[in-house]
Structure 1
């Protein structure tokens, strides 16, 4: 499901290949990898807002980045002209916040599963590759909707476990054998545990899980009331977005699922 014409024009094969090529630099050159990913994320969010937001542009909108990490996304928003006071990041790990030496004016320490903000505080809330790192991602999604204003958007993007990057740095196939196997093999090979440890900071989150959550939220079963605007594979060209509609195929082919919900 996706009706985002502006974003569809951006979602080209050339963009997909560029992002895919950057994955090899995640560990060796994080500035390059996360810098490009952050800039692309800002472009995607602006396109989503253009197509589905309550106002013509993001100018003046309050934005919450849940799990903003070391600040690459904040820097990308600043480069795109978003004012300091309009962008807020919430991150639980102080070490992660300081890892890249990037200073973000409105940076709050807190958990995505218990956001330290009042109801209806933000026009746009989003998380990028965070859900697979928390034990209850749908509680985090509920919290994000809680702090989103009525009419505002929540954009929830996460890595699917059965996709090729589900195991993150532990390998492209090892996690298909099992998360614990992948973690042990990584440690045997590198002499230290992986950053993302199975069962502690990396979890099995499927495409089906996200689509069920969106359906339950749209039907009023979850605590927050929102409608699903779109669901699509984040890194794919738009002509491959149909994959989200095919059970089993979407689990291995989508790689990263994006859910766009509008708070009622």
Structure 2
């Protein structure tokens, strides 16, 4: 496939070190202060996706949308927003489930082929047992010429183990057991059940092998612009890329 990061010049212009530091700090508040974390992430997501597609009037599916933080940000940008989640508790996190919410699996999206303008997913891929089936499903439901934006937390990055980090570097099951001993309960993201090891190498391989879309960009989502070339370096890319974004345009 073509070099990772191609077609991402607009996104790189705003991928500053200051932004990276701010997002890294925000991730520390995912559980103690969810509004702070998700509001910052949602706003950044809209800005980044808008560099690849005009959201005005677009029918957008957010796979794993969760509570309404992303809904508010995308609708403010002019998108017609639909959220899908496997957990009713996530969808109703800010109160009653609003219209346009769907319960379902990312690995079997309950939508017709080619029915959406934009299919988006942020930090969900690492939570499904067959991540690349979900990626293929996102392509299936996107219309020809439509955009897929898929990002996820890389396993060997600093937040790969989510709340069990940095102990996940010693193994997911060990990190889970340590968290259980320390806190007297299971982590929210349980390795082997609701958290799985997804790597940069897997994404590059899948993107190169799929036949349904043009690869617009593969970029370290929250890294400074200068670090995109590290995707070319095996092993190193797994550690420095703490979140990877794949942008595709459906044939």
Same fold (TM over 0.5): yes
SS of the equivalent of 1:14 reads helix
Task: Give the structure with the larger helix fraction.
Answer: 1
How far apart, in 2, do the equivalents of 1:142 and 1:200 lie?
21
Alignment match, 2:98? 104
Q: TM-score, normalised by structure 1?
A: 0.90
Measured in 2, the distance between the counterparts of 1:208 and 1:160 equals 10
What is the SS of the residue equivalent to 2:50? helix
- Count of residue pairs brought into register by the alignment: 247
**Among residues 221, 226, 231, which one is paired with 2:218 in the alignment?**
231
Q: How far 1:78 moved relative to its partner?
A: 2.4
Residue 242 in 1 paired to residue 235 in 2? no
Q: Distance in 1 between matches of 2:144 and 2:204?
A: 21
Partner of 2:60: 63
Q: Does the CA-based 8 Å contact 1:91-1:109 persist in structure 2? A: yes
Counterpart CA distance in 2 for 1:211 and 1:160 is: 12
Q: Contact 2:57–2:78 at 8 Å: present in 1 too?
A: no
Q: 2:119 aligns with which of 109, 113, 125?
A: 125
Match 2:70 to one of 70, 73, 78: 73
- Which of 5, 10, 34 lines up with 2:38 in the alignment? 34
Q: Which runs of 5+ in 2 are unaligned?
A: none
C-alpha distance in structure 1 between counterparts of 2:58 and 2:76, whole Å? 16
CA distance in 2, matches of 1:9, 1:171: 30
Match of 1:205, SS state, is coil
Match of 1:52 in 2: none
Other structure's SS at 2:204 match: helix
3-state SS of paired residue (1:228) = strand
Contact kept? 1:70, 1:102, Cα under 8 Å: no
- The reply on whether 1:134 has 2:128 as its aligned counterpart is yes
Over 3 Å counting, the alpha-carbon distance change for 1:108 and 1:64 in structure 2 is same
Unmatched 5+ stretches in structure 1: 50-56
* Alpha-carbon contact 1:160-1:166 (below 8 Å) kept: yes
CA offset digits 1:152-209 (Å, max 9, x no partner): 111110111111111000122x111111110111111111100000100000111000
Corresponding residue SS for 2:146: strand
Aligned match of 2:12: 8
Q: Is residue 255 from structure 1 mapped to residue 246 from structure 2 by the alignment? A: no
Where has structure 1 moved over 6 Å in runs of 4 or more? none
CA–CA distance in 2 between the matches of 1:137 and 1:4? 23
CA contact (8 A) 1:228 1:262 kept: yes
Q: CA RMSD in A?
A: 1.2
Which of 179, 197, 201 is 2:172 aligned to? 179
In structure 2, how many angstroms separate the alpha carbons of the residues matched to 1:5 and 1:178? 36
Aligned pair in 2 of structure 1 residues 163, 114: CA closer, same or farther (>3 Å)?
Answer: same
- TM-score of the two chains, using structure 2 as the length reference: 0.95
The whole-number CA distance in structure 1 between the counterparts of 2:230 and 2:171 is: 24
1:16-66 CA distances to partner (integer Å, 9 max, x unpaired)?
A: 1111111221111110011100111011111122xxxxxxx2211111100
1:124–1:107 Cα change, 3 Å: same
